[in-house]
Amino acid sequence: MSFAAVLEQVGGAGRFQALHTALLVLPLLLMASHNLLQNFTAAVPPHRCRPPAAPNGTLRAGPNGTLGAALPEPGPCRRYAAPGADGAANATEPCRDGWDYDRSVYVATIVSEWDLVCSYRQLRQMAQSIYMAGVLVGALVLGNLSDRFGRKAMLMWSYLLLGAMGTCTAFAPNYAAYCVFRFASGMALSGFGLSVACLVVEWIPTPYRAITVAITGFAYTLGQILLAGMAYAIPHWRRLQLSVSLPFFFFLLYSWWLAESARWLVLSGKAEKAVKVLQRVARINKRKEEGEKITAEILKSNMQKELACMKSSYTVSDLVRTPAIRRIFFCLSIVWFSISFSYYGLAMDLQNFGVSIYLIQVIFGAVDFPAKVLVTISLSYIGRRVTLVVSLLSAGLVIIANIFVSTELQTVRTALAVVGKGCLSASFNCIFLFTTELYPTPIRQTGLGFGSTMARVGGIVAPLVKMMDEYYPFLPPVVYGAAPVMSAVAAGFLPETLNAPLPDTIEEVENRSKQKQLEDTKEKIPLQPQDKALQKEA
């Protein structure tokens, strides 16, 4: 009797699973709001140099005796200087008195508030990289802590931290404080996302995992569209930041009802607590009698194999200690990095598409629905590996193809970018499910955490690569497109997990790999001459 059988005994995919998943998915609506928030809070409004005032408060005369405001400025980063002693006219100088911003669309952003333009424009991209660095640190630290102290405890801590740090960000007095609070928010968001993923998957029976993960993906997609509406209705960056942060205090309040992973409790030596959780699930699913039959002794006796293989603690080193897990680890790391790198390279560049930033955000969000429907069907019937390879390959080729489209064909370029983003979103759905199915229970959260870490490294690097377009405009799209193509090759080396039960031990994964290698070896051994003769006689 495996844990999957125990889960089926208490109701399988019953009322508890539906309610539990819904409460875990609801906060995902605001996950996109934090990841993509700087598209709006750090938007760059049209700006020009502020003309200097003369000592009497009037505008200083510009070249040829004109007023500084009457002559068009030479650009957003320079202004006409007053004639010098030699009488030279039309000389320019940097913006020494700040900038004036067009506030018709963006009432206030961090760019207009702290003048992150011209020589300071790189600080805008740097703020997003710092946020992604926080998500990376959160994946490293909180993923491991979740395996040690439980999924639910880490989820509640992440809700509290995200609500508090997000609120502090809204009241940041300067750019440095803003970056510090955003870094902490990124850490919390990472812990929240990882805990949700494991709590969802570990309570759902194998046949329903693909559709459940798809639902979580749809919630994130809907959140992208919700973000566009909220940003349009709340054009001030501080109020928008506050609006996407305060709800996490509400999520914290109802998270007390959520159930800790019974699978994790058993393998952590807390079988008595696991029994209580499973009996509670059975009551909610109207399987009270079946639930009462479960005892700690029954759980321990039927999961002796898993418990015997448990160690006192597991670390990142367990991801590379054995050959099968090591291969999975390296392949998944490449895929996680590439998906996130290309995804954020596209999703954080909305102002360069030549259409309303709110409209393109809605389009980028809406394309995920058909993409994730198709990928869910493919995951359920074709398999995880083929689906992931095809979606990655399609994304990379579409992004590369955009390089050869004329900049005048803005609609075509936008359409290709939208298709590429849809394929990358589908790849995210694949890799979340695939990762949780490939790693065994003791290191599942650690493995998912390290995968998320590689994704955050990709998110950190993506804005930095974008900075190169000022010198080599063709380079960023080439890099953004090549990464998914290369990761598609790595994904081809992963084992298929369609309809396979979740592995509970490292040894189980290694045995599956050895069995698969033996089967492949038998298929490749050519028939011997005597075997061929026997076949002809037959």
- pLDDT for the residue numbered 433: 84
pLDDT of residue 73: 62
Distance, in Å, from the CA atom of 383 to the CA atom of 375, rounded to the nearest integer, reads 10
pLDDT band of 283, cuts 50, 70, 90: confident
Ramachandran area for residue 115 (φ above 0: left; ψ -120 to 50: alpha; else beta): left
Least confident span in 103-112, 113-122, 350-359:
350-359
* Whether residue 69 has pLDDT greater than 60: no
Q: Which of 61-65, 388-392, 429-433, 474-478 has the lowest mean pLDDT?
A: 61-65
Per mean pLDDT, which range of 203-212, 303-312, 322-331, 375-384 is the poorest? 303-312
Beta-carbon contacts of 24 under 8 Å, excluding residues fewer than 6 positions away, are 196, 199, 200, 216, 258
Collapsing DSSP to helix, strand or coil, 101 comes out as: strand
What's the angle, vertex CA 452, arms to CA 277 and CA 198, rounded to 5?
10
Lowest-confidence pick of 179-193, 395-409, 485-499: 395-409
The listed range with the strongest mean pLDDT (135-144, 281-290, 466-475, 481-490) is 481-490
pLDDT for residue 86: 45
For residues 447 and 329, the answer to whether their CB atoms sit within 8 Å is yes
Q: Strands 78-80, 47-49: parallel, antiparallel or unpaired by DSSP?
A: unpaired
Q: Is 49 helix (H, G, I), strand (E, B) or coil?
A: strand
- Structure confidence by residue, pLDDT tens digits, 77-98: 777 776 554 445 567 777 877 8
Q: What is the pLDDT of residue 214?
A: 76
Q: Enter the tokens of residue 202.
A: 């570990």
Mean pLDDT of 177-198: 89
Question: Between 441-466 and 175-202, two packed helices, what is the crossing angle to 10 degrees?
Answer: 140
- Report the percent of the chain where pLDDT is more than 70: 85
Give the position of tokens 């650009």.
75
> Which tokens belong to 303?
């999961």
Average pLDDT over residues 243-260: 91
Output the six-digit token pair for 503.
């592995």
User: What number of other Cβ atoms are within 10 A of residue 419's Cβ?
Assistant: 18
For residue range 122-177, list pLDDT tens digits in order.
788 888 889 988 888 887 787 677 777 888 888 999 999 999 999 999 999 999 99
Residue found under tokens 């009270």: 288
The full set of domains in the chain, from first to last, is: 3-43+114-491 (1.20.1250.20)
φ and ψ at residue 236, rounded to 5 degrees: -95, 125
What is the average pLDDT score of the chain? 81
Give the best-scoring range by mean pLDDT among 54-58, 334-338, 419-423: 334-338
pLDDT at 252: 92
CA 120 to chain centre: 28
313: pLDDT confidence band, cut at 50, 70 and 90? low
The percentage of residues in the chain with a pLDDT greater than 90, rounded to a whole number, is 17
Q: What is the pLDDT of residues 370-380, one digit of tens each?
A: 888 888 888 88
Confidence band for 537, pLDDT divided at 50, 70 and 90: low
CA–CA dist 428, 459 (Å, integer): 13
426, two tokens = 């589908």
| Ramachandran category for residue 247: left, alpha or beta (phi over 0 → left; psi -120 to 50 → alpha) | alpha
CB atoms < 10 A from the CB of 291, how many? 22
Q: Which tokens hold the place of 401?
A: 């193809």
pLDDT for the residue 391: 93
Distance (Å, rounded) from C-alpha 226 to C-alpha 232?
A: 10
Question: What's residue 162's pLDDT?
Answer: 93
Other CB atoms within 10 Å distance of the CB of residue 251:
21
Q: What are the beta bridge partners of residue 67?
A: 61
